[in-house]
Structure 1
Amino acid sequence: MTPLYATSAAELTEAYAAGRLSPVEVTEAVLARIEAWEPHANAFYRVHHDGARAAAKAAEARWRDGRPLSPLDGVPITLKENVVSKGDPAPIGVAIGDTTPKTEDSPIAARVREAGCVLLGKTTMPDYGMLSSGRSSIHGTTRNPWRLDRNTAGSSSGAGAAAVAGYGPLHVGTDIGGSVRLPAHHCGLFGLKPSLGRIPIHPPFMGRCAGPMTRTVRDSAMLMSAITRPDARDYMSLPYDPVDYAAGLEGLSAKGLRIGLIRKMGTGLEPETGVLAAADAAARALADAGAEVVETPSFLTPAMLDGICRFFEARSYNDVMALSAEQRAKILPFVVEWCTWRAGGFSGAEVMDAYMQVVAMREAAVKAVAAFDFVLSPTAPIVSYPAEAHSPNEDPHDALAHIAYTVAYNFSEQPAASVNWCFTDDGLPVGVQLIGQRFDDLGVMRLARLVEQLRPAQNAWPEPPQ
C-alpha cells in the first residue's frame, strides 16, 4: 500500500469521499514524515503542527457530513515562504527580513484555505528569491532528498525538497526566471509556470508567477482549479476561466501535434550530455507516438540573456543599497556581490537598453513557439551541483547563466512546465521542459500528462537517512 504521506491528492479525495481515510490520520502521517526528514532536508521555515491538526479535524467533520468545501478539502499543502499567509512572517529568505506576522492571506493562501486544504506550513527560499539555490542567510541550506550533497535549485527550494520528501501531495512555489521549473528538474517533479496572471498573486510584477509543484501532473491540475480563482488584488491577472483542469487532463494524442525541439540555447551554460540525452529521448518518444518533432534553432541571443541579467541586477541593487552597511553584512555575500559588482555604474540609457532586450526576448519567444503546437527543450543545462553552491558555476559575476532555457517564458507570459523524464546512473533526476502558446495552460498540462505516460519507469522516492 502507498504510505499515507505519499498518497496523491486524487487518491485522497476518493478515499475521503468513500470514508476509507480521514484527513486527521493523513495529516498525522505527513507531520511524522516531516519530523523524520527535516533534520536532513531543511525544507521548512515554519511547521503548523497545531493549525494543521485543527484544519484536518474540521475537514474530517465536513467529509463525514457530506459537505466538503472542495475536492481538496483535507488535503495537505505547503506554501513557499513568500506566498504570504496570515499569521506567518515572510522575511523572503534573508536574515534581515521582516519577521512580523502578516495580517492577511495573499490570493493563493486565501484560495487554498477556502478549498479546505490543510496548510502544513511555509517552505524555504534563498535570499530575496534571487538565487537558483537552496542557500539562505536565514534558513541555512536546503538539501535535495535524492542526494543530500546535491542542490535543490531555487528559488522554490523548500517546495522542491518537501515534495520529494513526501510532505504531502501539494506544494506551491513562485517563478520569475525558472524558480518553479528548475527545482522541479533537479528534484524529479512536475512544476508549472503558468501564463502570467493565470494564478492571481500579490504583489504582481512583470514576469512573476506562482505555480504548483507536485509528484504527478494530475495533482497539479487539481490544485490549479482552486488557485486560479479570481482575486482583485492582482491587477495583472487574466479573466477568470472556470476550467476543470483535472477533468480535461487526459486523452491528448501525439498524432497531429507539431512540436519544436530546442536542444541548445546558444548562450548561458553549455548543456551537459545528460540533459540533452533526456530531451532527445522525450522527442523520440513523442515522434514514435505520432507527433511531428522538428529541431529548431534558439531564439535567445547573448544580448537578451545579459539584458535580463542586468535588469535583475539593477532592481536588486536598488534594494540592497537602500540598506545600512550593517544590514548588508547579514545578506549572503554572494548575493551582494552579484547585484553590486556592475549595477552601480549603470546609466539610465544602459538600464533602458537592458529593458529593451527583455522586450526583444519576449517577442522572439512568442514568435518561436507560434510556429508549433508546443516546444520541447531541456529545463536546465546541468543535471546537478553541490548543495552548498549559490549557483551552478559559483560565479557572482555570471550568476544566472543557467536560466537560459527558462527565463524567456516568464517575460513572454507563456505557460512552461518541467516534467521528470529519467534518472542518471547515480540516481539523480533529469527533467524536460514543455512550452505552450500564451494562455494554453491546460494544453501544456495535457502534454505533460502524455509525457508522463511515455517516459521510462521512474525511481522509487527516497527515504530519510536512518
Structure 2
Amino acid sequence: MTKQTLDLPAAALAERFGHGLDPREVAETALARIAEREPVLNALYHHDPEQVRRDAEASAQRWASGTQLSPCDGIPVTVKENIPRAGIPVPSGTAVPNPPVAASNAPVTDRLLEAGMVILGSTTMPDWGMLSSGVSSLHGITRNAWDPRLTTGGSSAGAGAAAAAGYGPLHVGTDIGGSIRLPGTWAGLATLKPSVGLVPLHAPYTGRAAGPLARSVADAALLMSVIARPDARDYTARPYPAMDWFSGPADPAGLRVGLQLDAGSGAPVDPEVAAAVERAAGLFAQGGAAVVPLAPFMTAEQLAGIDAFWRTRSWADYSALDEAARALVLPYIARWCAGGKDYDGIQTVRHFHRFAEVQEATRAATEPFDLVLSPVAPMAAFPAEDPMPVNDPDLPMAHISFTVPYNMSGQPAATVNCGFTGDGRTIGLQIAGRIGEDDRVLAAAAWFESVRGDAAPDWSQVA
C-alpha cells in the first residue's frame, strides 16, 4: 500500500478493510512512518512494533473469516501514557523511579481492544500532566509535526504530535484544563473534550475527561462512537441519551451562537488569533446563525484559585517523594508546585470552592446559546523547549481561560483549525455546547470544517 492510504480517514480505512485491504499492510506503513518521524517528534512513550504486528495479524484473520469485532477492527490508534494498559508502567511523564505498573486496562483501553483496533503505543506527556507543552523529565521534548521548533502543546503532547504526523488516524488524550484542545489549536487538529462522565475514566477527578484527537471531525466522531460507552468502573459516569456520531455537518441556520473574544483573565488574545476566530464566527453568521458577543464570565481571582489548588495537590505528590526522586522532577514543575506548599487548610478549601464558582458561572453565561465560539488559547504555538507559553511558574496559568471553564462545567468543547498566523502557525476555534450535546457540537464543527476554505490544514506538508 502507499503512504497516502494511511492518511485516509478512519471510516475510509474501515471500508477498505471490508474490500480486501490488509490491516497488516496498514500497520507496517504506520510502523514505517513512526520509525521515520519518531527520532525528531518523540511522541511515543511505549511502542512495541512486534505487538503491533501481532495485533494486526489477528485483525487480518478476523476480516478474512468474517468475524471482525467492529467496523473499526484493524484501525491504528494511540492512547496517552496516563491511560492504563495492563502490564505497562504509568510514569505520567516524570523520571521518578519505579512508576506504578497498570494491573488492568482503563475503560478506554478496553473499548479500543474490544473493537479490534490496533494500539500503536502510548503517547508522551509532561510531568504529571501539569504543563501545556511536551517538556518532560522522563521523555525530553515532544515536538510539533508541522515544525519541530514549536511545541505540540500538552499535556496530551505525544497524542497531538502523533495525530498531526499521521501515525494513524485516531488518538486518545485526556484533558483537565485544556490538555486535548491545546494540542488541537497548536497542531491544527480536530478534537473534543467530552461532556462529564460520557467517556468512562479509570481515575475520575474534577474536570478530567478523555477524548479524541484527529485530523478531521469525522474521525473524532468515529472514535467517540467507540469510547463513549458506559463502564461501571467510573463512578462519575452518567447515562446520556444515544448520540448520533455519524450525522455529519449540521446547518447552523437558526442557532443562537455566542462569540467570546475576551476571557476576562489570563494572557491577552493575540490579534491574529482573534481575527481568525472572528472570521470563523462570520461564516456561522453567513450560514444563518445569530452570532452574539459573550462577555467574560471567569475572573482572574477564580483562575488564580484553581491554579493554587492544583499547586497544592501537586505539592502533596512532590513532597511525598524522597530527596533523590524530587531531584528528578522537572525544575519548572518543582517550583510551580512549591507555590502551593504554604496554603493552610482554610485557604485550600477556598481555592477548591473556585471550581464550583466557575462551574456555576460557565453554565449561567452559556445557557442562552446553542454554541459558544472562542479561541482555544490566546496565543499560537511557542518554542518546543519552553514548558509554558507564559514561561513563569510563579504566575497563574495564563493560557487556559478559554478552555478550563468547560472542564469545570462539564460541557463539551471541540476544536477545529480556523486559520494560520502570518508565519504559518495553526489557530484553533473552540466550539462549546450544552452538556450532553456532544454530537451536536461535533456536527457544528464538521459544518465549519466544510466551509472554512483556506483555513484547512494541508496534511501533505507534514506526512
Which interval holds the TM-score relative to the shorter structure? over 0.9
Shift in Å, 1:399: 5.0
Shift in Å, 1:67: 2.1
Letter in 2 for 1:400: M
Shift in Å, 1:413: 0.5
Corresponding residue of 1:138 = 138
Letter in 1 for 2:233: R
Corresponding residue of 1:434 = 431
Shift in Å, 1:454: 1.6
CA distance in 2, matches of 1:110, 1:80: 14
Letter in 1 for 2:375: P
**Alignment of 1:117 onto 2:114:** no
Is residue 90–residue 98 contact of structure 1 (8 Å, CA) maintained in 2?
Answer: no
Corresponding residue of 1:303 = 301
Q: 2:453 is paired with a residue of what secondary structure?
A: coil
Long gaps (5+) in structure 1 = none
Shift in Å, 1:392: 0.6
Shift in Å, 1:402: 0.7
CA distance change for structure 1 residues 370 and 54 in 2, over 3 Å: closer, same or farther?
same
Is residue 3–residue 29 contact of structure 2 (8 Å, CA) maintained in 1?
Answer: no
CA distance in 2, matches of 1:377, 1:3: 33
Corresponding residue of 2:287 = 289
Corresponding residue of 1:54 = 54
Long gaps (5+) in structure 2 = none
Shift in Å, 1:320: 0.8
Instruction: Please show how residues 8-19 of structure 1 align to structure 2 within 5 Å.
Output: 8-19=9-20
CA distance change for structure 1 residues 173 and 240 in 2, over 3 Å: closer, same or farther?
same
Is residue 111–residue 227 contact of structure 1 (8 Å, CA) maintained in 2?
Answer: yes
Shift in Å, 1:4: 2.4
CA distance change for structure 1 residues 244 and 22 in 2, over 3 Å: closer, same or farther?
farther
Corresponding residue of 1:4 = 5
Corresponding residue of 1:184 = 184
Letter in 1 for 2:239: P
Shift in Å, 1:398: 1.4
Shift in Å, 1:98: 3.6
Shift in Å, 1:180: 0.2
Corresponding residue of 2:259 = 261
Corresponding residue of 1:417 = 414
Instruction: Please show how residues 57-72 of structure 1 align to structure 2 within 5 Å.
Output: 57-72=57-72
Is residue 266–residue 298 contact of structure 1 (8 Å, CA) maintained in 2?
Answer: yes
Is residue 175–residue 209 contact of structure 1 (8 Å, CA) maintained in 2?
Answer: yes
1:141-162 C-alpha deviation (Å, 9 max, x unpaired): 0000111111111000000000
Is residue 191–residue 213 contact of structure 1 (8 Å, CA) maintained in 2?
Answer: yes
Shift in Å, 1:456: 2.2
Corresponding residue of 2:373 = 376
1:54-98 C-alpha deviation (Å, 9 max, x unpaired): 111111121122222111100000000001111321100000054
**Alignment of 1:35 onto 2:35:** yes
Q: 2:60 is paired with a residue of what secondary structure?
A: helix
CA distance in 1, matches of 2:431, 2:405: 13
Instruction: Please show how residues 58-457 of structure 1 align to structure 2 within 5 Å.
Output: 58-96=58-96, 98-99=98-99, 101-239=101-239, 241-246=241-246, 248-250=247-249, 252-341=250-339, 343-398=340-395, 400-457=397-454
Is residue 240–residue 436 contact of structure 2 (8 Å, CA) maintained in 1?
Answer: no
Shift in Å, 1:460: 2.1
Shift in Å, 1:334: 0.3
Is residue 40–residue 464 contact of structure 1 (8 Å, CA) maintained in 2?
Answer: no
Q: 1:148 is paired with a residue of what secondary structure?
A: coil
1:281-330 C-alpha deviation (Å, 9 max, x unpaired): 10001101111000110111111111111111111111111111221110
CA distance change for structure 1 residues 456 and 424 in 2, over 3 Å: closer, same or farther?
farther
CA distance in 1, matches of 2:378, 2:131: 16
Is residue 37–residue 464 contact of structure 1 (8 Å, CA) maintained in 2?
Answer: no
Letter in 1 for 2:268: E
Q: 1:354 is paired with a residue of what secondary structure?
A: helix
Shift in Å, 1:184: 0.6
CA distance in 1, matches of 2:100, 2:376: 36
CA distance in 1, matches of 2:41, 2:460: 11
Q: Which moved more, 1:90-99 or 1:1-10?
A: 1-10
CA distance in 2, matches of 1:97, 1:227: 31
CA distance in 2, matches of 1:255, 1:350: 47
CA distance change for structure 1 residues 120 and 107 in 2, over 3 Å: closer, same or farther?
same
Shift in Å, 1:459: 3.5
Shift in Å, 1:2: 6.8
Q: 1:18 is paired with a residue of what secondary structure?
A: coil
CA distance change for structure 1 residues 319 and 420 in 2, over 3 Å: closer, same or farther?
same
Q: 1:344 is paired with a residue of what secondary structure?
A: coil
Is residue 312–residue 337 contact of structure 2 (8 Å, CA) maintained in 1?
Answer: yes
1:149-202 C-alpha deviation (Å, 9 max, x unpaired): 111110000000000111000000000000000011000001110011100011
CA distance in 2, matches of 1:235, 1:97: 30
Q: Which moved more, 1:367-376 or 1:61-70?
A: 61-70
Is residue 36–residue 464 contact of structure 1 (8 Å, CA) maintained in 2?
Answer: no
Please, what TM-score do these two structures have when normalized by structure 2? 0.97
Percent of paired sites with the same residue: 45
Shift in Å, 1:220: 1.1
Shift in Å, 1:426: 2.2
Letter in 2 for 1:54: R
Q: Across the two proteins, how many residue pairs are aligned to each other? A: 461
Q: 2:399 is paired with a residue of what secondary structure?
A: helix
Task: Tell me how large the CA RMSD over aligned residues is.
Answer: 1.4
Is residue 176–residue 404 contact of structure 2 (8 Å, CA) maintained in 1?
Answer: yes
Letter in 1 for 2:16: A
Q: 1:34 is paired with a residue of what secondary structure?
A: helix
Q: Which moved more, 1:91-100 or 1:137-146?
A: 91-100
Q: 2:459 is paired with a residue of what secondary structure?
A: coil
Please, what TM-score do these two structures have when normalized by structure 1? 0.96
1:328-351 C-alpha deviation (Å, 9 max, x unpaired): 11000100100113x122121211
CA distance in 1, matches of 2:65, 2:19: 12
CA distance change for structure 1 residues 295 and 309 in 2, over 3 Å: closer, same or farther?
same
